[in-house]
Copies of this chain bind each other. A is one copy, B any other.
Amino acid sequence: MSGSVYGKHFKISTWGESHGDTVGVTVDGVPAGLSLDAQDIQAQLNKRKPGQSAFTTARQESDSVRIMSGIFEGKTTGTPIAMMVENGDHHSADYSNIMDKFRPGHADYTFDAKYGIRDYRGGGRSSGRETIGRVAAGAIAIKMLEELGINIRAFTRSIADISVSDDRLDFANENPLNMPDNEAYEKAAAYLEELKSQGESAGGVIECRITGLKAGIGEPVFDKLDASLAKAVFSIGAVKGFEIGAGFGVTGLKGSENNDDFAVKDGTVVKKTNNAGGILGGISDGSEIIFRAAFKPTPSVSVLQQTVTTAGEETGIEVKGRHDPIIVPRAVVVVESMAALTIADLLFDDMSSKMDYIREYYKSK
């Protein structure tokens, strides 16, 4: 029953529930000597902070991070970095109407079945606030990877059936839905307003692209890069699907259509296409890593649904309160964070036994 630790080298241990005192994370395995301050973390946390647009919960949280260890004179020391955010705006009263009912689409029932106890004030550990620890830890990984030229960028690919089109995709387009196609954004915004008025919610797809990663990252046969990313992303609440490169689309292709031909460019082996999404045999191939994840609609809706009480009686439920009509835009930074943590971890794994380097190091004084 201990699933809140992630990673082998760049190892994070998260804590905190939606209505507990604090949420946070300890990151063990950050290399020494990196420049790091609270602002590096805060900038990422702000991307997932609630209350910033019409499309997110009205819950007010400053989500100010406090770094509690592991930094000395502005540098990491190689020791664990603990980071914490106080939970401010609990509003426990909002939840009294659902304390004895299992909300459909939520983890109330399964938490109760597993632990025999449930923090009925909200989502508890399955709340989106749990992701604060992931984002704070991910901020460190992202900064470290960027220094190496490895960049991770996720965005909203689609909301319901409204998709960012490849030819209009432009990351200069900034909007509250993290949808880098203004035309799609406007359609989606209008659609979400309509859903909100119905008390409903929508799902969507997040795409993530990673550039600058060398060939060689990923550990066959079980800790492959794609398998590891799949787990990392699927561990985010509300994810129901994950695909790499051409993904489910590969089944419509013949072998020769799906295979990416190799060529030589500037003395380096490159692929002419990228159906593989940058991964062959579970190992990065040096081209862009591309994956997508499907997120379900926010399960909290204020329309009437059928459910069961904790006492086992059938009943109806309308989930009132402050809920996002869509999870996707705020989850973008969470996807980036989980990708960064996974890449950092596998990068260290790959580096751990490069004998050329070890021989050189052992020859030095």
Contact indicator per residue, chain A 227-256, by CB within 8 Å of chain B (1) or not (0): 110111011010111111111101111111
Q: Are A13 and B80 in contact (CB under 8 A)?
A: yes
What are 5 of the A-B contact pairs (CB < 8 Å)? A2-B219, A4-B28, A33-B117, A104-B262, A351-B357
Query: A164-172, A178-186, A275-283: which one contacts chain B?
Result: A275-283
Task: Say if the beta carbon of A98 comes within 8 Å of chain B.
Answer: no
Q: Are B21 and A69 in contact (CB under 8 A)?
A: yes
Q: Are B115 and A272 in contact (CB under 8 A)?
A: no
Which of B217, B275, B353 is within 8 Å of A29, CB to CB? B353
Task: Say if the beta carbon of A190 comes within 8 Å of chain B.
Answer: no
Given contacts A1-B31, A244-B240, A244-B241, contact A300 B255 (CB under 8 A): yes
Which residues of chain A in 89-137 are interfacial with respect to chain B, using CB atoms and an 8 Å cutoff? 102, 104-107, 109-111, 113-119, 124-126, 130
State A113–B7 Cα separation when bound (angstroms).
Answer: 24
Q: Which residue of B lies closest to A244 (CB)?
A: B240
Which of B67, B201, B267, B294 is within 8 Å of A255, CB to CB? B201
Name the B residues within 8 Å of A222 (CB-CB).
3-6, 231, 235
Given contacts A220-B3, A243-B242, contact A353 B9 (CB under 8 A): yes
Name the B residues within 8 Å of A359 (CB-CB).
147-148
Q: Are B355 and A352 in contact (CB under 8 A)?
A: no
Name the B residues within 8 Å of A308 (CB-CB).
262-264, 269
Name the B residues within 8 Å of A88 (CB-CB).
none
Query: A42-50, A57-65, A342-350: which one contacts chain B?
Result: A342-350
Name the B residues within 8 Å of A353 (CB-CB).
1, 9-10, 29, 31, 348, 351
Given contacts A220-B4, A353-B1, contact A230 B253 (CB under 8 A): no
Q: Please name the 7 residue pairs, one residue from A and one from B, whose CB atoms are nearest each other, closest first.
A: A107-B281, A3-B219, A2-B29, A201-B255, A105-B259, A13-B13, A231-B231
Task: Say if the beta carbon of A301 comes within 8 Å of chain B.
Answer: yes
Given contacts A72-B119, A113-B216, A267-B312, contact A282 B107 (CB under 8 A): yes
Q: How far is the CB of A144 from chain B (nearest CB, A)?
A: 8
Task: Say if the beta carbon of A195 comes within 8 Å of chain B.
Answer: yes
Q: How far is the CB of A129 from chain B (nearest CB, A)?
A: 11
Task: Say if the beta carbon of A77 comes within 8 Å of chain B.
Answer: yes
Which of B32, B203, B350 is within 8 Å of A116, CB to CB? B32
Task: Say if the beta carbon of A152 comes within 8 Å of chain B.
Answer: no
Q: Are B250 and A281 in contact (CB under 8 A)?
A: no
Name the B residues within 8 Å of A268 (CB-CB).
365
Q: Are B258 and A297 in contact (CB under 8 A)?
A: yes
